[in-house]
């Protein structure tokens, strides 16, 4: 067996189940789960119709690159969304079966195991796929703490040059999970300059890019930042998904886009990896990327929850509105595990301890004494949960 499997740690939700083991929640309250970032809003009819109307596509093997119409829809969406020239749909875009599998597989392509002691830099707290991808590619993760004092974003000023020289891949998540912070143009400039200097590849995880609260100011994207700074997309690959944008987490549909040389190698890998997108899902994805009305309506539902719940919690937790995404990253007075356990036991509300989303690095666990609340439940349930947190 691959010995690197022994380096993998339990997933945060397994740790949460272990924390709650043997604990019976207060039956006087209905269960409300704010722990997992799974969209609960209704899937748009236009996507379901496209899926059903193209079900005969199941009779055909899909290609790794997907149909041209899908890549063109994605290219057109990128150009509209970020106000940049359209990417070549033949060479700069590749459909993927959800951003999660692509983020993992990408490290297996990028990491050169012939070079000594390769490093993958990850934000901390982070999406645990980054860590697992690094280990199973034969690299070592280097955690860059994203703390309140550096605005919950990655600050590379503290990374030693000896680490940067061995770095082959950097995962960036903007809007961030769990903080909801969006990288600024100046912050992107810093990462791009380091990539140009040290030659590492940037994997920009943008799966939350379409959940934001001001229609006039959508979050800055990595491809957009690259264009605004007058550089090519060299060593930059963006990962995006329909799961949050269009409420289709079960459809497993997303894309990667950027550096054409890397896309070519990733496509080669995926040909052998065997993860081509279902033809019916491709048709539904085209319908989704071509429509913005359902996305705008989706944002309205989240905005209503966040603008109502955040002020309710401000007297009970240290919390502010995020820039984007659907999480509240709230500081607690109790240890985060104690808070989550007491809230579950006494009020039947499930949240995720922040320390489960982070690793101890540079002397601290930056998720300690934070909890993540995913406002994915209904408006009424989110308000009920906020009331119960106030009671706690």
DSSP 90-127: TTSEEEES-HHHHHHHHHHHH--TTSSS-EEEEEES--
Q: What is the pLDDT of residue 149?
A: 85
Distance CA 323, CA 214 (A): 9
User: Is this prediction's pTM over 0.85?
Assistant: yes
Distance CA 232, CA 191 (A): 14
Please provide the DSSP assignment of 271-315 as one string: HHHT-PPPHHHHHHHHHHHT--HHHHHHHHHHHHHHHHHHHHHTT
pLDDT digits (tens, 9 = 90+) for 268-324: 999 999 999 999 999 999 999 999 999 999 999 999 999 999 999 998 999 999 999
pLDDT digits (tens, 9 = 90+) for 116-145: 999 999 999 999 999 999 999 999 999 999
Mean pLDDT of the chain: 97
Please provide the DSSP assignment of 121-182 as one string: EEEES--THHHHHHHHTT-EEEEEE--GGGTTS--GGGS-HHHHHHEEEEEEESS-TTT---
In which residue are the tokens 């600024």 written? 184
Task: Classify 328 as helix, strand or coil.
Answer: strand
Distance CA 37, CA 13 (A): 11
Distance CA 193, CA 65 (A): 31
Tell me what the mean pLDDT of segment 378-384 comes to: 98
Q: Do 281 and 251 form a contact (C-beta atoms < 8 A)?
A: yes
Greatest C-alpha distance within the chain: 59
Distance CA 93, CA 86 (A): 11
Domain spanning 3-42+294-391 has what CATH number? 3.90.1150.10
Sheet holding 327-331, edge to edge: 327-331, 370-374, 352-353
Q: What is the pLDDT of residue 8?
A: 97
- Is the confidence at residue 151, as pLDDT, over 90? no
Asked if the bond preceding 178 is cis, omega within 30° of 0, the reply is: yes
Domain extents in the chain = 3-42+294-391, 45-291
- For domain 45-291, give the fold: 3.40.640
Tell me what the mean pLDDT of segment 220-246 comes to: 98
Indicate if the alpha-carbon torsion angle 200, 210, 80, 90 is positive or negative: positive
Q: What is the pLDDT of residue 150?
A: 84
Question: Following CA atoms 300, 13, 102, 42 in sequence, which dihedral angle do they give, to the nearest 10 degrees?
Answer: -30
Q: What is the pLDDT of residue 126?
A: 97
Q: Look up residue 199 and give its two tokens.
A: 């030659």
């Amino acid at each position: 067996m691959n010995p690197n499997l022994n380096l993998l740690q339990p997933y945060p939700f397994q740790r949460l189940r272990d924390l709650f083991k043997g604990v019976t929640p207060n039956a006087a309250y209905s269960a409300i789960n704010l722990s997992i970032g799974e969209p609960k809003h209704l899937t748009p009819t236009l996507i379901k119709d496209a899926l059903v109307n193209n079900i005969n596509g199941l009779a055909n093997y899909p290609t790794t690159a997907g149909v041209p119409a899908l890549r063109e829809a994605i290219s057109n969406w990128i150009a509209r969304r970020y106000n940049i020239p359209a990417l070549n749909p033949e060479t700069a875009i590749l459909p993927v079966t959800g951003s999660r599998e692509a983020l993992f597989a990408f490290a297996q392509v990028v990491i050169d195991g012939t070079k000594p002691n390769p490093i993958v830099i990850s934000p901390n707290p982070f999406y645990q796929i980054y860590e697992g991808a690094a280990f199973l590619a034969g690299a070592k993760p280097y955690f860059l703490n994203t703390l309140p004092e550096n605005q919950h974003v990655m600050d590379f000023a503290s990374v030693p040059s000896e680490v940067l020289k061995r770095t082959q891949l950097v995962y960036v998540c903007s809007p961030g999970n769990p903080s909801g912070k969006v990288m600024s143009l100046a912050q992107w400039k810093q990462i791009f300059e380091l990539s140009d200097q040290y030659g590492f590849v940037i994997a920009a995880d943008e799966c939350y890019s379409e959940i934001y609260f001001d229609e006039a100011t959508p979050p800055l994207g990595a491809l957009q930042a690259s264009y605004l700074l007058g550089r090519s997309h060299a060593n930059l690959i963006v990962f995006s998904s329909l799961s949050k944008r269009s409420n289709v987490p079960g459809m497993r549909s997303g894309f990667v886009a950027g550096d054409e040389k890397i896309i070519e190698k990733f496509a080669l890998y995926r040909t052998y990896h065997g993860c081509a997108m279902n033809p019916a899902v491709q048709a539904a994805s085209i319908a989704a990327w071509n429509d913005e009305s359902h996305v705008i309506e989706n944002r309205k539902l989240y905005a209503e929850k966040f603008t109502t719940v955040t002020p309710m919690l401000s007297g009970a937790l240290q919390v502010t509105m995020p820039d984007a995404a659907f999480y509240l990253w709230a500081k607690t007075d109790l240890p985060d595990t104690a808070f989550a356990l007491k809230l579950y036991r006494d009020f039947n509300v499930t949240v995720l301890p922040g320390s489960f989303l982070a690793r101890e690095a540079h002397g601290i666990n930056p998720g300690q004494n934070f909890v993540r609340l995913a406002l994915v439940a209904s408006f009424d349930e989110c308000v009920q949960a906020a009331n119960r947190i106030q009671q706690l």
